[in-house]
Structure 1
Amino acid sequence: MRFNELRICITLILVATFLQTGFSQNQKTADSLIAVYETNVSNQNNLSLIFKIINESLNANTKLKFSNLLLEKAPKDSLKLQYSGYLQKANAFSEKADFPEALECYFSSLKYAEQTKNDAFIGAALIGIADTYSIVENPFNAQKYYLEGIEKLKYTNDSIKLGYALYNLGDQYLKTGNSNDALSYTKEAGHIFEKLNDVRALAYVDGNLGRVYAEKEKDELALEKINSAIVTLEKFEDYSPISEFLAYMADIYAKKGNIKKALTYAYKSLNLAQKYQLDDQLSQTYLKLSNLYEVQGNFKDSYINFKQHIAYRDSIANLENIQKMSALRTDYEVSKKEAEVNILQKEAEISQLKARRQKAAIYATAAIIFLISLLAWGLYRRYKFINKTKIIIENEKKRSDDLLKNILPEQTAEELKQHGKVKAQKIKHATVLFTDFVGFTRYSEHLPPQQLVESIDYYFSKFDEIIGRYQLEKIKTVGDAYMCASGLHNHSSNHTHNMLLAAMDIVDFVNQAKATNTQLASNFDIRVGVNTGPVVAGVVGTKKFAYDIWGDTVNVASRMESCSLPGKINISHNTYKIVKNEFDCEYRGKVEVKNRGIMKMYFVNSKNNITSNLSPDQTNNSLA
């Protein structure tokens, strides 16, 4: 039994609390803020106002619209704003029951949360992912992300968020039949809510404890807990869980053999579900009534309730593959139920015939029931297999897409997927960087292969992290040489500036590693060369394809590296003209370059400390 509305509500409570402390959702306030936003053009770039509108709004469509605006207008390197935008977008999709989109946005928010290293942010994203997986009935992933999220929330000292997460994990274990873990986590949540004096949450805990005790065949204790939950929730007029708890009491009395009392509780559940239009609970209660009437031998009412169950169940199904098969499945299941009812009715008529025909008729009926059950089981197994196969195919496709995006830039990967090939591009203004380890050949001759690879991986992994931070594009590595570029897809005016910042970070990291990391088998010095100018970019090959760039700019950047000195960043005159006001550059004079003649070169010593060079993330810290 799953409380979808409660699960979504808990997720939104967690998220709203994580993002800020001063807001409480109020649609009237949201409407007034929207009016301010729309009537004043200058406010349309006010990220603080957009953020307030999202948090005050109760309308999923409004929340989705302004979450997209926040993501569009916020700086890409402002981790907190990107995290907040994706998390609020996920909440909006979740309210709209578009769970695949919600899941994708939760994963995007988790990516930015992990970069902030904030346990509260990471915990909120993980619990959102877990709740979504639970709703779409993926128990393995749901349990995995609940446990990870709870581990993060334990370090936030926020009991209410931790309590809700523990409750949801207990409910998830109960759905998968693990009553021991369900009992443990539900009780742990109850201890937290008891300290907080949260009466409503304690009622949910009592209800789930009742379900757990029923699974453990402790029926009296189960009835006591469920009755306690119902009494409390009636005070809050929270009728959806009351309807489900009443249905569960019907199950308990049916197991005891008291069908009359079971029917009484089932109809109480049905009346509440009809009164408050709880379609999901209506479907389950009609099925329960069908089963109870069948046990009584009242096949007519059993058949009527079963048809109602099928109608409501298919009206609320929201998975694409179920929607496509709903008509066929409804016809099949109704016809199967008709066949079963007809067989049972004929069995009752045959029982009135002569005794010598009764035995043969019963055997014939049993054989027909067995064949129908066998057919139903086979169809059910096939249905499960098709669904499982679809999920595997979707997961493998996502893995393939992710792998492609790791090999190629995202825009290039999308073009390759859509057209099967990539057109070469001429970029008028790009910056290219080469690095090379000094004395690498000498080291490689004396080191075992494993240690050599570990040393190179140690450095290149950090280089990957640095260029990712500055939104640069890694091109390739050749031996101990590392090549990257900027301005290929993101044609911002400061891409050369970002490239030199990355180069300085690389040199600082190598120097620091040489001074402090004595565990490495080898410690290198590094040369760095940078040049700016036009390049041609494209994909070569058909099997092991690779993204690469060509042109005179690339050749000159390589020469800048080979003419550099250990621990130095050597740049060309083209690059110097762009960054001379932003960095402290030392003129080296004109240097003889192989196959190039005489060229002006400069060492980059440091970055000038001026206000205009603040990064977008620093500029927006006050807003975020």
Structure 2
Amino acid sequence: MNYEYFSVKNKTVMVITMAFFLTLCASIFAQNQNPTDSLETIIRGGNYDEANKLNLLKQLSVHHPNPEKKLAYANELLTLAMALDSTLYISAAYLEKGNALFQKGDFSLAIDSYLEYGKTTGFEESNEEIVVIYGTMAMCYEGMGDSKMAIKYYQRAINIPEIEKDTILLATNLENLGYTYLVLKLPDSALIYFNKSGLLFKEINHEIGLAYNLANKGAAWAQLKNFEKAELNIHKSIETLEEYGHHRALCDVLIESSEIYFLNEKFDLASEFANRGLDIAKANNFKPQISAANLQLSKIYEKLETDNQSLDFYKDYIVYRDSIRNPNSIQEIANMRADFEVSLKQTEVDLKQSELDLNEAKVILLNEQKSNQRLLILTMVVILGMTGLYYWNIHKEKRKSDDLLLNILPKKTAEELKENGMVKAKKFESVTIMFTDFQAFTKYSHTLSPEVLVRTVDYYFSKFDEIIEKYSLEKIKTIGDAYMCAGGLNSESPDHHLKIVKAAFEISEFIKESKFSDLGEMAHFDIRIGINTGPVVAGVVGKKKFAYDIWGDSVNVASRMESNSQAGRINVSENTYQLIKNEFHCEYRGEIEVKNKGLMKMYFVESSKVTSVINDTQIKPKSIKKTTIPI
């Protein structure tokens, strides 16, 4: 039960942070906010000059308090701005779309929108604006459980010189960065940032900021087992939160206090603070806090051996927990295979060989006077050694040949080629093919030296190879900057269509992260991805320099999906969509004219449905306890 408590507790921080950051974003991006009701009335009634429609949509997407409507207006603004080729409004639409998705908890999609905004502006609007965007992106990564990327963006935010002019903004990012280290169970590092943010809040006499800062420090001291300092900080925080009526944060801090008393074996005080937090949470219908308080009380009464009360609270915890979240999905990871037994066997062989060499030396010494026998023995040893070396070299070269063959051909095809000296062409009824292509590659190829160009392509394709191998897919070939792979050529992979899409997401994420990496002289690219599923014919062509390839209309359609995709998007055909629609959210693009194919239905793959469930339920309760400051 203890593990589940901390699992819930660590998900209780970011709602406060989000509320603060959205308030802050509103103050920076929409300082002259107008009521949205009148704007919506104008839009619905059509009482506006058509030339002013872009500005009306922008105002609604900036100011609307409802994230669903905010997102709808941002999308409408984006469509119209693209049609009119208005870079200014395109960038504004991406920014507000990211803010709306952030409010909804769709963190991955929010990051995509912020990155699109960065492409259109180069993050050059104002340094203060960049600070807020980087801080928000950090919270998105934290919401997705990626603390490493969260720390990276918080650091970027606090290192922008302009932030020094806004004490609250700097203090908030320092506080959030400290909390990220707290979640990672690094309280010493967390306290470094909490002390910095605390001094800034004290400097401007920001009482609410200090209250949240004290609560965070209390949690850090609790991790360090210094319960006296933990109690002192948290009690001061409670007084301020009560005074200013910050009830949700007050619930979180009361439950935190209960945990400190519990760890210090002061069970009466632990029960008192947990019940107090539960009462406030029920009065305000704060479901995540109700759930956490019930679990805390269940744990306390279990320790006091009052099992019936413990069970009652645990039942209430389950009811509220299931109303706000679903079980976490476990991301697939690749397992490494160890060569331990082979190493042991090799050691055994080496020892035996050493013993054999020693015995041979003894024989030679004992028969020094028998020159004929010694010569015979030496001759036999040389012959045996040369024979052994000969066969060892043959075995070594055979292994090299086999490894090279497996790099070129699928395993079963390679075995067929070695056994028969040829490979028969085979038809596969269902294979999923993926093409990727770098956008604007030709333009960059003219500006880079041949050496740098080859190094750049190798950098990206090497990572692609790792991802493809992880999902047991087959790399078919590369053509210039195009990369082609397939799944389903191995009969042991019936879910090849799902693996291909997962691999496509990883490739897309790698490309996005590479944009923020220092690649030296190498170029940064955007990528288009296209996928189709259908029958193909596979075989080996050539005699001296043979190559494995696949043919068929399905391959051509996959290529068309790529050429009709967009930067950073995964475009799939109707065939693939029907196979993945139960596992992934897809956006229907309509029927699009395709060269030599006519009209074809296409879909953008947006996200995994499992991931989406987590975004809508899991991540929100996870973000309930981060002590940042609402303005």
TM-score (norm 1): 0.51
- 1-structure distance, mates of 2:14, 2:73: 25
Are 1:216 and 2:214 counterparts? Answer: no
Check 1:79–1:214 CA distance in 2 against 1; reply closer, same or farther (3 A cut). farther
| Aligned pairs (5 A) from 1:45-56 | 45-46=51-52, 47-56=54-63
Aligned to 2:354: none
Are the equivalent residues in 2 in contact too, given 1:79–1:116 (CA < 8 A)? no
- 2-structure distance, mates of 1:194, 1:113: 36
Are 1:170 and 2:178 counterparts? Answer: yes
Aligned to 2:293: 285
Aligned to 1:31: 37
User: Which of 451, 454, 460 is the matching residue for 1:453?
Assistant: 451
Aligned to 2:142: 134
- 2-structure distance, mates of 1:457, 1:256: 58
Are the equivalent residues in 2 in contact too, given 1:109–1:125 (CA < 8 A)? no
SS of equivalent residue, structure 1 residue 302: helix
- 2-structure distance, mates of 1:286, 1:434: 61
Aligned to 2:506: none
User: Which of 48, 61, 64 is the matching residue for 1:57?
Assistant: 64
- 2-structure distance, mates of 1:147, 1:181: 14
Check 1:288–1:34 CA distance in 2 against 1; reply closer, same or farther (3 A cut). same
- 1-structure distance, mates of 2:198, 2:79: 42
**Residue type matched to 1:19 in 2?**
F
Aligned to 1:387: 330
Check 1:436–1:309 CA distance in 2 against 1; reply closer, same or farther (3 A cut). closer
- 2-structure distance, mates of 1:248, 1:436: 57
Are the equivalent residues in 2 in contact too, given 1:284–1:309 (CA < 8 A)? yes
Aligned to 1:40: 46
Check 1:456–1:253 CA distance in 2 against 1; reply closer, same or farther (3 A cut). closer
- 2-structure distance, mates of 1:232, 1:155: 27
- 2-structure distance, mates of 1:59, 1:272: 26
Aligned to 1:302: 310
Are the equivalent residues in 2 in contact too, given 1:107–1:125 (CA < 8 A)? no
SS of equivalent residue, structure 2 residue 105: coil
Aligned-pair distance for 1:19?
2.4
Are the equivalent residues in 2 in contact too, given 1:64–1:92 (CA < 8 A)? yes
Paired residue total: 359
Check 1:301–1:18 CA distance in 2 against 1; reply closer, same or farther (3 A cut). same
Check 1:387–1:38 CA distance in 2 against 1; reply closer, same or farther (3 A cut). same
Aligned to 1:13: 23
Check 1:77–1:224 CA distance in 2 against 1; reply closer, same or farther (3 A cut). farther
Aligned to 1:489: none
- 1-structure distance, mates of 2:22, 2:334: 27
Aligned to 1:361: none
Aligned to 1:145: 153
Are the equivalent residues in 2 in contact too, given 1:36–1:43 (CA < 8 A)? no
Are the equivalent residues in 2 in contact too, given 1:280–1:313 (CA < 8 A)? yes
SS of equivalent residue, structure 1 residue 388: coil
Aligned-pair distance for 1:82?
2.7
User: Which of 170, 185, 190 is the matching residue for 2:198?
Assistant: 190
Check 1:83–1:178 CA distance in 2 against 1; reply closer, same or farther (3 A cut). farther
Aligned-pair distance for 1:78?
4.7
Across the aligned residues of Structure 1 and Structure 2, the Cα RMSD in angstroms comes to 4.0
**Residue type matched to 1:59 in 2?**
N
- 2-structure distance, mates of 1:170, 1:229: 17
CA deviation vs aligned residue, 1:24-67 (integer Å, no higher than 9, x gap): 4x6xx110122123323544542222222233321222211211
- 2-structure distance, mates of 1:140, 1:419: 33
- 1-structure distance, mates of 2:64, 2:445: 54
SS of equivalent residue, structure 1 residue 230: helix
Aligned to 1:74: 81
- 2-structure distance, mates of 1:11, 1:80: 24
- 1-structure distance, mates of 2:18, 2:207: 19
Check 1:149–1:266 CA distance in 2 against 1; reply closer, same or farther (3 A cut). same
Aligned-pair distance for 1:456?
10
- Percentage of pairs with the same residue: 25
Are the equivalent residues in 2 in contact too, given 1:45–1:73 (CA < 8 A)? no
Are the equivalent residues in 1 in contact too, given 2:40–2:60 (CA < 8 A)? yes
TM-score (norm 2): 0.50
Are the equivalent residues in 1 in contact too, given 2:57–2:73 (CA < 8 A)? yes
- 1-structure distance, mates of 2:248, 2:182: 19
Aligned to 2:13: 3
Are the equivalent residues in 2 in contact too, given 1:233–1:239 (CA < 8 A)? yes
Aligned to 1:106: 114
Check 1:17–1:258 CA distance in 2 against 1; reply closer, same or farther (3 A cut). same
CA deviation vs aligned residue, 1:259-313 (integer Å, no higher than 9, x gap): 1111111100111111111111111111111111111111111111112112211
CA deviation vs aligned residue, 1:175-227 (integer Å, no higher than 9, x gap): 11010121111221222222232221221111111111121222222112111
Are 1:161 and 2:207 counterparts? Answer: no
- 2-structure distance, mates of 1:270, 1:181: 31
- 1-structure distance, mates of 2:286, 2:307: 26
SS of equivalent residue, structure 1 residue 177: coil
- 5+ residue gaps, structure 1, are 323-385, 393-417, 423-432, 441-449, 459-475, 479-519, 521-538, 550-624
User: Which of 265, 278, 283 is the matching residue for 2:273?
Assistant: 265
CA deviation vs aligned residue, 1:64-115 (integer Å, no higher than 9, x gap): 1211122122257655433332222222223233334333323333433435
